[in-house]
Amino acid sequence: MSFESLGLHEALTRAVADAGYTQATEVQARAIPPALQGRDLMVSSSTGSGKTASFVLPALTKVLAARAAAPRRDRGVVYGPRIVVLVPTRELALQVAKAVFDYGRHVQGLRSTCIVGGVPYGAQLKALRGPLDVLIATPGRLMDHMASGKAVLSHVEMLVLDEADRMLDMGFIDDIHHIAAAMPASRQTVMYSATFGGHVGRLAEELLRDPQRVAVASHTEAHADIEQRLHWADDHEHKNALLDHILTTREVEQAVVFTSTQRDADWLADRLADMGHHVASLHGGHPQGRRNRVLQGLRSRQLKILVATDVAARGIDVPSISHVINYGLPMKAEDYVHRIGRTGRAGRSGLAVTLAERRDAQMIQRIQHFTTQRIPAATIAGLEPRRAEPPAHRPAGKNFARPSRPGGFGGKPGGKPFKPAGKRFAGKPGAAR
């Protein structure tokens, strides 16, 4: 379905075309029309499906409609935002803010801002003082501004809860209730979540009015554009050898290497930098300024490798990421899905590699139960494990998807290895490491 057929304003279809898109994805085609009609929505879709545009475009339509109905505002009156988008992390907030900028480039005088933790209050307070079209916020920092009386939500026309399940996992349920209670009951509310069971479903019942359900994909569906592989490692040294081999194959355009802890992320980034890779670490312990510089370095391709904790598993949208490598396994099986979703974006293919030791067998089993897919085991010539592979873990009664390509690693035979230029990325001189 073309974007022109969705009933969007000409300024938005032009911006979408400028961004290089002509056909709407399934979630966009199914969610945008009822959103434009003002319906409350419960939407679940897979990572990389284009869900951000599916709520940003209707939100900007509301802004344009409001301007057409009341083109002038009385000065001196604090109106606050028309649209509020709540997200779980700063990285996702920045991704949504970029989408608002990209799709709103032809909306005259569009005012949007990010309200997130880890950055000074000054610029946020300045943005909140005047009329505001779109406010993207993490719940905690928005609550701070509400408590001080600086964030006025009495004129909100649309509330978007993006990755609601993640926000509830992070303990934001009371904050979300408090924020929603400060908005008009007549507002439109759209909620995006991987699942709507349990406490997420109860939250939807409390906040949404006669919602329309849009279920495009689930975590159990195969990632068509992502090949998954599992390499068993005998020990820590063997795991490092596997990682080193993978990162020096020429098929690696850009890679995200996930670790389980912040300490491991910093240690591994330093190790890879010493080997000559252009690399940086990213985790919640870094100040926001440094995190912004690292993400910009990834998007501008100054960085080839990002070593990150799960803080980066959601909200990083860089199409040139060709490889995701699970060096340390996630704490929760669903985070595996969000990790591997960093590759295979924008119609490209990607490779997700998991490096596991025998002690990780139970987590591998949980991931396979969650996705109802077997991660095909593979070996690298010369780096085969000495120990026998743990017994295959198959969820009872489930059929695993077969791998899209044969096992093994290395891409085209005879490929030349990547010769790293060799520098630890720090964004700017003096940036915190």
Q: Residue 200 is part of a domain; what is its CATH number?
A: 3.40.50.300
- For residue 432, tell me if it sits in a domain: no
Task: State yes or no: pLDDT of 210 exceeds 90.
Answer: yes
Boundary of a domain, candidates 174, 193, 215: 215
- For residue 235, tell me if it sits in a domain: yes
pLDDT at 295: 87
Task: State yes or no: pLDDT of 318 exceeds 70.
Answer: yes
Pick the residue with more confidence: 133 or 432?
133
Boundary of a domain, candidates 215, 250, 269: 215
Residue % of the chain over a pLDDT of 90: 53
What confidence category does residue 421 fall into, taking pLDDT thresholds of 50, 70 and 90? Answer: very low
- What is the side-by-side order of every strand in the sheet holding 212-215? 112-115, 132-137, 81-86, 158-161, 188-192, 41-44, 212-215
- For residue 352, tell me if it sits in a domain: yes
What confidence category does residue 218 fall into, taking pLDDT thresholds of 50, 70 and 90? Answer: low
pLDDT at 315: 65
257 shares its domain with 350: yes
Query: What SS3 string covers the chain?
Result: CEHHHHCCCHHHHHHHHHCCCCECCHHHHHHHHHHHCCCCEEEECCCCCCHHHHHHHHHHHHHHHHHHHCCCCCCCCCCCEEEEEECCCHHHHHHHHHHHHHHCCCCCCCCEEEECCCCCHHHHHHHHHCCEEEEEECHHHHHHHHHCCCCCCCCCCEEEECCHHHHHHCCCHHHHHHHHHCCCCCCEEEEECCCCCHHHHHHHHHHCCCCEEEECCCCCCCCCCEEEEEEECCCHHHHHHHHHHHHCCCCCCCEEEECCCHHHHHHHHHHHHHCCCEEEEECCCCCHHHHHHHHHHHHCCCCCEEEECHHHCCCCCCCCCCEEEECCCCCCHHHHHHHHCCCCCCCCCEEEEEEECHHHHHHHHHHHHHHCCCCCECCCCCCCCCCCCCCCCCCCCCCCCCCCCCCCCCCCCCCCCCCCCCEECCCCCCCCC
236 shares its domain with 382: yes
211 shares its domain with 234: no
374 shares its domain with 237: yes
The pLDDT of 199-205, averaged and rounded, is 91
Q: Residue 41 corresponds to which tokens in the numbers above?
A: 């929505």
270 shares its domain with 414: yes
Phi/psi at 192 (5° precision):
-115, 130
- For residue 431, tell me if it sits in a domain: no
pLDDT at 392: 56
- For residue 111, tell me if it sits in a domain: yes
201 shares its domain with 241: no
Task: State yes or no: pLDDT of 360 exceeds 60.
Answer: yes
pLDDT at 74: 46
- Contact at 8 Å (CB) between 245 and 383? yes
- For residue 40, tell me if it sits in a domain: yes
The reported pTM is: 0.62
What confidence category does residue 428 fall into, taking pLDDT thresholds of 50, 70 and 90? Answer: very low
Pick the residue with more confidence: 278 or 216?
278
- For residue 269, tell me if it sits in a domain: yes
* Stretch among 3-7, 40-44, 69-73 having the lowest mean pLDDT: 69-73
Task: State yes or no: pLDDT of 328 exceeds 50.
Answer: yes
Cα angle vertex 315, ends 334, 174, to 5°?
A: 70
* Domain around 170: 3-215
- For residue 251, tell me if it sits in a domain: yes
261 shares its domain with 188: no
9 shares its domain with 99: yes
The 10 Å Cβ neighbour count of residue 106 is: 15
97 shares its domain with 128: yes
**Arithmetic mean of pLDDT over the chain:** 84
243 shares its domain with 171: no
pLDDT at 310: 86
Boundary of a domain, candidates 215, 238, 261: 215
The pLDDT of 340-347, averaged and rounded, is 81
| Domains: count for the chain | 2
19 shares its domain with 138: yes
Task: State yes or no: pLDDT of 403 exceeds 50.
Answer: no
Q: Which residue has the tokens 């406490």?
A: 199
53 shares its domain with 151: yes
pLDDT at 424: 54
